[in-house]
Amino acid sequence: MSFNLPVRPSISFRGFRHRGKYNPDGWGIAFYPDECASAAQVIKEPIEAKESKLSKFLKDYEKVKSKIFVAHVRRASVGEKGRYKNTHPFCRELNEVEYVFAHNGTLNKTFKKTLELVRFKPIGETDSEHAFCYLLKCIEERGIAQWKKNDFDWLTEKLREINKYGTFNCIFSDGKHLFCYYDENGYNGLCFVQRKPPYSKIQLLDEDWEINLAEEKRPEQTGYIVATRRLTDEQWQDFKFGELIVFKGGKMIYSNCRDVSNLLLEEPLTCKEKEILRILRGSPHRLSLREIIENSKYSADEIKSAVHSLLCKGYIRQDRRDEVGWNHDKARFFTEPEKRKEIDAEIK
């Protein structure tokens, strides 16, 4: 999962736990609980996910929130069963951030002999962890401090190099980016769905369970969910063979197989949206929806529509202490701190 704001994984994790029935040799989940997104928390067990009391607890635990989640259920092909050290996701520190990694597939024995390791060494016996250590070695040798498009192009070739040794679907993260690669021969599967407002009801495919996302999601929450198989009845899209997709902040920022430039473009601010931003920037404190309407020349319906749009675009936030929905008169708003320079330039 990659989202623009910290979210709970409860819906997707509920569907994910069912997949442990066919992948009974371990389960794990990794996420980044801090705002700085450099330290990962990894929770895993070498048992079936549905049989785990810990995974059941996490499904409903409200304190687990992050912009990025990486989860895995294991069906052992290389490495002894029943061992924590062979259970995904794996975690290592590089350049003062913790990378987490999960792999689906099997690499042949020549892989370990041919692609040598240096500083990073596996703790367990899996081909997956060896691939992770090799990948980190390559990233360190390239000296990547800030990921750029040419680095993503280079990474695609490295992943394809590993892929030559067998079947290789992998998902990994540095806390900011979610890297998702699909096997060049189409092994197993990999697909994604975008979650964005307006939210509606969805149905899990693995159980008779329906939920209204409008009641669960804040209107400004947007992002992507990636899975081997579709988890819900939403409009999922398949990865292309050999495709690397990179997500950041709930946006698709790179693909070697599709044009993502249109996904990165933001619609220009409307006059109504700029007026709301002027009102908020001119106030020394947070303003309620009613106060914004009273200080505007536009109708209440027009202001509500513009507030919703600004929430979705990430220009404003609702006060977390509110006990009402965003469209309630008492809902309070403020401008996104990281966008205030951009906002001030827009409303001059």
Same domain membership, residue 201 and residue 125? yes
> Is pLDDT of 298 > 90?
yes
Provide the 3-class DSSP secondary structure of residue 191: strand
Q: 308 — phi, psi (to 5°)?
A: -60, -40
Report the alpha-carbon distance of residue 324 to residue 299 in Å, rounded.
21
> Of 331 and 262, which is predicted with more confidence?
331
A 10 A CB-CB count for 120 gives 19
- Cα dihedral 180/183/188/192 (nearest 10): 30
Closest CA to 8 of 50, 57, 83, 65: 65
Q: For residue 197, is the peptide bond before it cis, meaning its omega torsion is within 30 degrees of 0? A: no
110: pLDDT strictly greater than 80:
yes
- Looking at the fold, whether 180 and 311 belong to one and the same domain comes out as no
56 conformational bin, left if phi > 0, alpha if psi -120 to 50, beta if neither: alpha
Q: What is the DSSP letter of 5?
A: E
Instruction: Please report, rounded to a whole number, the percentage of residues in the chain having pLDDT higher than 90.
Output: 65
* 183 and 294 co-located in one domain: no
Residues 326, 277 share a domain: yes
CB 311 within 8 A of CB 277: no
Q: Are residues 233 and 86 in the same domain?
A: yes
Statement: residue 237 has pLDDT above 80: yes
Looking at the structure, tell me whether residues 141 and 159 fall in a common domain: yes
Same domain, 213 and 188: yes
Same domain, 167 and 299: no
List, for residues 63-101, the tens digit of each pLDDT value: 899 999 999 998 888 878 879 899 999 999 999 999 999
- pLDDT category of residue 23 using cuts at 50, 70 and 90: confident
Do 317 and 170 fall into the same domain? Answer: no
pLDDT of 346 over the 80 cut = yes
- pLDDT tens digits for 169-205? 999 999 999 999 999 999 999 999 999 877 778 888 8
Q: Are residues 301 and 339 in the same domain?
A: yes
Q: Is the pLDDT of residue 135 over 70?
A: yes
Neighbour order of strands in the sheet with 191-195:
41-45, 27-31, 66-73, 2-7, 223-227, 191-195, 237-238
**pTM reported for the whole predicted model:** 0.79
Over residues 114-126, mean pLDDT: 94
- At 60 the pLDDT is 82
User: Pick from 212, 245, 262: which residue ends a domain?
Assistant: 262
User: How many domains, in total, are found in the chain?
Assistant: 2
The domain in which residue 339 lies consists of 271-346
Q: Are residues 338 and 210 in the same domain?
A: no
